[in-house]
Amino acid sequence: MNVPVVQGATGQGRRGRSGRIGRSGRSGRSTEGWAGRVMAAPAVLLLVVFFLVPVVLCFVLAFTNARLVSPEPSTLIGLANFERLLHDPLFWQSLRNTFYFAVVVVPVQSALALVLALLVNGSSRGTNVFRTLYFIPVVTSIVVVSILWKFMYQQNGLVNHLLQAVSFNTIQGADWLANPSTAMPAIIAMSVWQAVGFHMVIWLSGLQTIPGELYEAAELDGTTPWQRFWHVTWPGLRNTRTFILVTITIAALSLFAQINVMTSGGPLGSTSTVVYQAVRVGFQQQETGYASAISLVFFALVLTISLVQRFLTRDKD
Amino acid sequence: MSSRPGGSQWSGPVLWAVRVLLACFFAFPIVFMLVSSLKPDDQIFADLSSVAAFLPTGSISLDNYRSVFETVPAGRFLLNSIVLSFLTVVLGVVVNSLAAFALSRLRWRESGLVLSAVIATLAVPFETFALPLLWWVNKLPWLVLQDGVPVWTFGWLDTYRVQIIPFIANAFSIYLYYSAFQSIPKELDEAARVDGASWWRIYRQVVMPLSGPATATVAILTFLPAWNQYLWPLMVVQSEELRPVMVGVSYFFQLNVEWGPMMAYASLITLPVLALFLAFQRAFIGSIASTGVKG
């Protein structure tokens, strides 16, 4: 149905150009201006109401004692929320846990994703099947994945049975989620399993931007696959690398659903995270002011880390 | 492809073994979930120590699914999620593509400012402002008709709209559409203008029909998070009849049901997405790949 229009475009291109010159008068320009504003208005309005206002509110509410539902108007209380934050042991523990999760997940997940991408790079039918299989956990909701692994992580669950089978009964598994020292590693393993396919696809799209001739030339020079990786593939993935680092880090710092479904922050606070604590404070305890202060710290964290990463991985030329 | 790293080395039997092992690693929990959903609890546990854990053997039935629909309003949850994600996708496609069209095609004074503001919002994760947003939507007004008279009410909590409207406008969708529209030659709409077509018509009949892949990408990238919504509905929805599927899992914690029905519910809310993915896997993977195109 767009074909006639396309033909019209080629046939009347010259007239189109002269037509624009003729329209440069005031009335033509201002209708175009208003059409633009009207068409952009719904999105702009929605972004202002549901993005800009809440972000600004986060900065304002953090300095108040606002509650989610309260008959009294909220009042400014200065830095009291932040002082409370400094003396809140659960906040520090949540911050530590969040860092622990991110520090392990970021390198492990990005490296494993790259290995997977290299394994299924190419266009043969076989690699396509594997790509699909590795990607299945990504389209499975993290909530479903969390219930499923909660079941598998039980003392007499599937994970321990598999560990026994693979190790010929030498490994006796733990009650993974009930133990403060194994709960977070268990959640880390599951989270990597779920999300690694996503970043595999990002690496793959990066790999596809590297021209094939570079590999051919390198091969003619008699290089080993390892040399080709370090001298052709790795430099060619520079932009992809930054993107992957930033997105995995932000996702890791936002850890919430797994905690809420699997452990509720326990045992003994060993899996509480910053976002989990913010939700507990702001939703269950209805303390919007304090939750905004926590969110603000989280915001600062995300911003700092992504800026630092962009700086460290910037173009050095 | 021999031009990719290694070529011949990468296709050796060892690498095939690695690929197969990894495929097992990624598939086994899903297979286990689907298979267990068909078994009674005592058999699930009995099968754990053998390969039977991954095979639909023994007393297989749909009893778990029946019990899910009897004990949990699962049908209602599914319907809610279908309606919510459908509306979010459709409205998102319209609103974001219109904005991108205005930014890419029309000259208006504030367009540069709007475009850079849209790009700046890409870096902010939802979790940073979810709690202030919760407080804010509880204050928002809404017009309702009472006996034919419009009356303002306040507070959006516990509604369908609070699960849809905040997620319609999406900076990344605007950005995707904007890049797609930029690659469509401007001569096309200039010619259509000369023929007397309105901007609305150019949007509908020239630009949008040429942007099918962008629409598929935006639809997929809106649908997945909409279907998987968890944190937000957990906070804003109290009523059972408004809950989406993911929040429905909390039912199984409260009622302390057995694992069989739980696996059945988990399978039930996963299978629609899994089926869509397998049917359109090229588009799904392509849409994820497009998120890596740096903005």
Q: Would B107 be classed as within a structural domain?
A: yes
**In total, how many domains does chain B have?**
2
Angle, helices B13-36/A142-152, rounded to nearest 10 degrees: 90
Domains in chain A with CATH codes: 17-61 (no CATH), 80-312 (1.10.3720.10)
Look at A134 and B22 and tell me if their CB atoms are within 8 Å.
yes
Q: Are residues B101 and B48 in the same domain?
A: no
- Cα nearest neighbour of A206 on chain B: B292
Look at A232 and B5 and tell me if their CB atoms are within 8 Å.
yes
CATH number (domain holding residue B209): 1.10.3720.10
Nearest to A47 among B30, B169, B263 (CB): B169
Q: Are residues B17 and B121 in the same domain?
A: no
Question: What are the pLDDT digits (tens) for A95-119?
Answer: 999 999 999 999 999 999 999 999 9
Q: Are residues B169 and B247 in the same domain?
A: yes
Range of the domain at B96: 62-291
Q: How confident is the model at residue A243 (pLDDT cuts 50, 70, 90)?
A: confident
Question: What are the pLDDT digits (tens) for A36-48?
Answer: 999 999 999 999 9
- Cα nearest neighbour of B8 on chain A: A225
Question: How much is the mean pLDDT over chain A?
Answer: 86
Of B140, B139, B136, the residue nearest B232 (C-alpha): B136
pLDDT at B12 over 80: no
Q: Are residues B95 and B46 in the same domain?
A: no
More confident residue, A192 or A28: A192
Cβ-based contacts of B134 with chain A (< 8 Å): 68, 282-283, 288
- The one-letter amino acid code at A159 reads V
Q: Is A120 on the interface with B (CB under 8 A)?
A: yes
Q: How confident is the model at residue B254 (pLDDT cuts 50, 70, 90)?
A: low
- Cα nearest neighbour of A283 on chain B: B235
- Cα nearest neighbour of B275 on chain A: A139
Average pLDDT over residues B271-288: 90
Average pLDDT over residues B211-232: 93
- Choose the mutation target among A67, A69, A110, A148 for the interface with B, i.e. most B CBs under 10 Å: A148
Cβ-based contacts of A275 with chain B (< 8 Å): 127
Q: Would B97 be classed as within a structural domain?
A: yes
Look at B194 and A47 and tell me if their CB atoms are within 8 Å.
no
pLDDT at A7 over 60: no
pLDDT at B25 over 70: yes
Q: Are residues B171 and B236 in the same domain?
A: yes
Q: How confident is the model at residue B99 (pLDDT cuts 50, 70, 90)?
A: very high
Give the bridge partners for B149, in sequence order: B146
Q: Would B4 be classed as within a structural domain?
A: no
pLDDT at A21 over 60: no
Of A302, A310, A183, A311, the residue nearest A252 (C-alpha): A302
- The one-letter amino acid code at B24 reads C
Q: Would B92 be classed as within a structural domain?
A: yes
Q: Would B163 be classed as within a structural domain?
A: yes
Q: Would B2 be classed as within a structural domain?
A: no
Cβ-based contacts of A125 with chain B (< 8 Å): none
- Cα nearest neighbour of A212 on chain B: B3
Q: Would B143 be classed as within a structural domain?
A: yes
Look at A151 and B263 and tell me if their CB atoms are within 8 Å.
yes
Q: Would B3 be classed as within a structural domain?
A: no
Question: What are the pLDDT digits (tens) for B230-252?
Answer: 999 999 999 989 999 999 888 87
φ, ψ dihedrals at A255, nearest 5°: -45, 120
Q: Are residues B207 and B134 in the same domain?
A: yes
Cβ-based contacts of A257 with chain B (< 8 Å): 230-231
Give the bridge partners for B143, in sequence order: B152
* Residue A226, burial from CB neighbour count under 10 angstroms (0-12, 13-18, 19+): exposed
- Choose the mutation target among B31, B32, B128 for the interface with A, i.e. most A CBs under 10 Å: B128
Q: How far apart are CA B133 and CA B163, in angstroms?
A: 12
Tell me what pLDDT residue A4 has. 38
Q: Are residues B32 and B147 in the same domain?
A: no
Tell me what pLDDT residue A239 has. 84
Q: Are residues B76 and B186 in the same domain?
A: yes
Q: Are residues B38 and B177 in the same domain?
A: no
Percent of chain A whose predicted confidence (pLDDT) is above 70: 90
Q: How confident is the model at residue B255 (pLDDT cuts 50, 70, 90)?
A: low
Average pLDDT over residues A109-131: 89
Look at A58 and B128 and tell me if their CB atoms are within 8 Å.
yes
Cβ-based contacts of A130 with chain B (< 8 Å): 19, 22-23
Q: Are residues B106 and B237 in the same domain?
A: yes
- The one-letter amino acid code at B79 reads L
Look at A20 and B190 and tell me if their CB atoms are within 8 Å.
yes
Nearest to A144 among B6, B125, B270 (CB): B270
Nearest to B168 among A46, A54, A139 (CB): A46
Lowest pLDDT segment from A135-139, A168-172, B108-112, B215-219: A168-172
b/e code B129-168 from CB counts within 10 Å (16+ = b): bbbbbbbbbbebeeeeeeeeeeeeeeebbebeebbbbbbb
Question: What are the pLDDT digits (tens) for A65-92?
Answer: 999 888 888 888 989 999 999 999 999 9
Cβ-based contacts of B140 with chain A (< 8 Å): 49
Tell me what pLDDT residue B256 has. 60
Percent of chain B whose predicted confidence (pLDDT) is above 90: 64
Average pLDDT over residues B109-130: 90
Percent of chain A whose predicted confidence (pLDDT) is above 90: 59
Tell me what pLDDT residue A290 has. 95
Tell me what pLDDT residue B64 has. 92
Question: What are the pLDDT digits (tens) for A264-306?
Answer: 998 999 999 999 999 999 999 999 999 999 999 999 999 898 7
Tell me what pLDDT residue B1 has. 40
pTM over 0.80: yes
Tell me what pLDDT residue B286 has. 87
Q: How confident is the model at residue B159 (pLDDT cuts 50, 70, 90)?
A: very high
> What 3 state SS string does chain A have?
CCHHHHHHHHHCHHHHHHHHHHCCCHHHHHHHHHHHHHHHHHHHHHHHHHHHHHHHHHHHHCCECCCCCCCCCCCECCCHHHHHHHCCHHHHHHHHHHHHHHHHHHHHHHHHHHHHHHHHCCCCHHHHHHHHHHHHHHHCCHHHHHHHHHHHCCCCCHHHHHHHHHCCCCCCCCCHHHCCCCHHHHHHHHHHHHHHHHHHHHHHHHHCCCCHHHHHHHHHCCCCHHHHHHHHHHHHCHHHHHHHHHHHHHHHHCCCHHHHHHCCCCCCCCCCCHHHHHHHHHHHCCCHHHHHHHHHHHHHHHHHHHHHHHHHCCCCC
Look at B230 and A240 and tell me if their CB atoms are within 8 Å.
no
pLDDT at B45 over 80: yes
* Residue B241, burial from CB neighbour count under 10 angstroms (0-12, 13-18, 19+): exposed
Q: Are residues B70 and B165 in the same domain?
A: yes
Q: How far apart are CA A149 and CA A190, in angstroms?
A: 7
Asked if A230 and B285 count as a contact pair (C-beta separation under 8 A), the reply is no
Q: Are residues B184 and B108 in the same domain?
A: yes
Q: Is A116 on the interface with B (CB under 8 A)?
A: yes
CA distances from A175 to A145, A150, A159, A186, A270 (A): 18, 10, 10, 10, 15
Look at A225 and B10 and tell me if their CB atoms are within 8 Å.
yes
Question: What are the pLDDT digits (tens) for B162-172?
Answer: 999 999 999 99
Q: How far apart are CA A282 and CA A276, in angstroms?
A: 10
Look at B205 and A261 and tell me if their CB atoms are within 8 Å.
no
